[in-house]
Amino acid sequence: MPASPLIKVMTDAARKAGRSLVRDFGEVEQLQVSIKGPANFVSAADHRAEEILFQELNRVRPGYGFLMEERGVVEGSDKTHRWIVDPLDGTTNFLHGIPVFCISIGLERDGQMIAGLVYNPVSDELYTAEKGKGAFMSDRRMNDRRLRVAARKTIGDAVVATGIPHRGRPGHPKFLDELGTVMKSVAGIRRTGSAALDLAWTAAGRFDAYWERNLGAWDMAAGIVLVREAGGLVTDLEGGTDMIGTGNIIAANSTMQKELLPLIRARVT
Ligand code: IPD
Ligand code: CA
Ligand code: CA
């Protein structure tokens, strides 16, 4: 399916910022690294990529507001639209030379997520979705394919992704408790280090499910649209739809979500 004008402008901005990230990734040793919080780095590359995304998206859609991880809230004259952007998701991977990171761009209209893009500039895998129009992945050979969440229904066969709270983040005992329960019931657990890619890979059916707590809106915004448009179910950990407000998320096909959510909820004290 040819990209819509909206997906095209999002893709152009992401590819431009992606070129900047790839250049910096090649010189990761020389990057000036500052510490944003315990075990949580923010780099010059991150800021450069964010600046490019801000300029490009502002140029093509003047007036839209922004919520960006580094810059925070930028009010727009158009109060109905807001970009939710993580210029570099997978910062720890990036700084360790692990090529698993991405740019994440979500678009919200009247409080609803209507479009999402997740782009890994190293693998050149581009995931895009627009509400009601499906989710797609294009790879470096420019093969476009429609995404579907995994069809697997048996939790014992599932490969499930999650995020492990960093040093200095809350929720370590709770996470270990949940992990202890889930790992006994599934085929395997994975931790990529990028929430946005976890959601994109769930949309692509690579992961059967994904859950994580304490995320920012920018980690999830694009991925929520991807998973939904790939036929998956995305909820918070109460089974509601306030992922952005609670920071908690579970994504899977609906059968798997119904199996997995009680296991995680049972651990909530
Ligand atoms: C992080 C990644 C990671 C998740 C963390 C996020 P960052 O984002 O998405 O997978 O577990 O909670 O903060 O810091 O690399 O943009
Ligand atoms: Ca992030
Ligand atoms: Ca980030």
Write the CATH number for 253.
3.40.190.80
Closest ligand 1 atom number to CA of residue 212: 11
- Residue of the CA atom closest to atom 13 of ligand 1: 215
Residue 244 has pLDDT above 80, yes or no: yes
Helices (H) then strands (E): counts for the chain: 8, 15
Of the three residues 126, 146, 166, the one that is the final residue of a domain is 146
Residues 117 and 219 in one domain: no
Residues 39 and 96 in one domain: yes
Closest ligand 1 atom number to CA of residue 69: 16
Residues 24 and 118 in one domain: yes
Residues 183 and 92 in one domain: no
Reference 248, options 204, 214, 219, 210; nearest CA is: 214
Residues 199 and 134 in one domain: no
- The rounded distance, in Å, linking the Cα atoms of 20 and 128 is 20
Of the three residues 128, 146, 164, the one that is the final residue of a domain is 146
pLDDT in tens, 57-97: 999 999 999 999 999 999 999 999 999 999 999 999 998 88
Of the three residues 93, 114, 146, the one that is the final residue of a domain is 146
Assign residue 142 a region (left: φ > 0; alpha: ψ between -120 and 50; beta: otherwise): left
Tokens of 240: 């509601």
Name the residue range of residue 221's domain: 155-265
Tokens of 175: 């996470």
Reference 79, options 98, 63, 61; nearest CA is: 63
pLDDT in tens, 122-178: 999 999 999 999 999 998 877 889 999 999 999 999 999 999 998 888 889 999 999
The CATH number covering residue 111 comes to 3.30.540.10
- The rounded distance, in Å, linking the Cα atoms of 224 and 243 is 9
CA of 218 to the centre of ligand 3 (A): 8
- Residue of the CA atom closest to atom 7 of ligand 1: 89
130 φ, ψ (degrees, to nearest 5): -130, 140
Q: C-alpha angle with apex 247: 190 to 41, nearest 5 degrees?
A: 65
Buried b (16+ CB within 10 A) or exposed e, 195-223: bbbbbbbbbbbbbbbbbbbbbebbbbbbb
